[in-house]
Structure 1
Amino acid sequence: MNRRYVHRLSVLALTAAATLTLAGCVVAPPPQHAVTHIVQSPPAPLSEVIPPAPYPDSYWVAGHWKWEGNRYVWNNGHWEQARQNQVFQHAYWSNNGFEWIYHPGRWVALAPENNTQVIVANVAPPPPRVEIIGPAPTPNHVWIGGFWRWNNGQHVWVSGHWEARRDGYFYAPGHWYRSGNTWTFSGGYWQRN
């Protein structure tokens, strides 16, 4: 075989291999948060036993009802790593009078009110405590999870509780995140959507 023919075959083989490799690549579009509209009201949130946190700056993402296959299905809560200057807006259902609308959970930037004091501690908080969450009084209640409050030079546990959802707001759970050699407290208040 002559050299030119071998070179041409090599180039064609490489081009074919590259084409096949790239044909197998799929560039997925960014996830779209499909809004679900359902006539049937969701059940009240289930009771959850929150397991021990894996690390001090763990962040509990509560379980919630999701609509799948013509029925409500419970998605269990789980721990995530806290994110600096962000809070997780928990998934929830709202009612517009005719139907129930699902709002998926997502991380959002904290928007503290002007009177919110920044709390920084040199001592790491203990891991969040295990909480047993009883049934919600109504589907319109949201769980306000417990957290460690910095009080007179020490961490003091504040227990969680159910609270009625506020229209146009979501609860930014109180949590700690590492900031270099210190710990900063974020959240612990109702924030506008």
Structure 2
Amino acid sequence: MFIDVELKLLSHQGKIMKRIFNIVALMAVVAAMSGCATPVRERVVIHEQPQKVVVRQMPAPIQESVSAQPGPGYAWVPGHWVWRDGGWQWQGGHWYAGAVRPMPPVIVEQITVAPSPSHFWVQGHWKWHGNDWLWVKGRWML
């Protein structure tokens, strides 16, 4: 009777050991096979669309009539367009006590990439500032 119980116990332990061995063997096979996997390489192709640049062009100059010179030593500052409060505004000509050099030629600027599709480019322009012409650089605006 003791032998029967002992044989059954040994048989039961053998089944457990066999099961553990099979599980360990299966895990080893799975681990080995995972190294055989080929990684998937995806190729990303980006087709950049040409950027549409919206330029708010300065309007044509307005012809002004020059009033009589108020006195000796005065020079006429011609009217010109300036960007103010979200749009081009005409700055009328006026007399200035002192010498006024002619407005310099427009500076051609390189337009950079827009910060967003909703931005528009305001071109650079000259404006009268104090006693001389000042170049206001072109810039992106919303």
Q: Where on the TM-score scale, by shorter chain, does this alignment land: which range?
A: 0.3 to 0.5
TM-score normalised by the chain length of structure 2: 0.39
TM-score normalised by the chain length of structure 1: 0.30
Larger Rg: 2
Normalized per residue, the structure richer in strand is 1
Work out which structure has the larger RCO, using CA pairs closer than 8 Å and 6 or more positions apart in sequence.
1
Normalized per residue, the structure richer in helix is 2
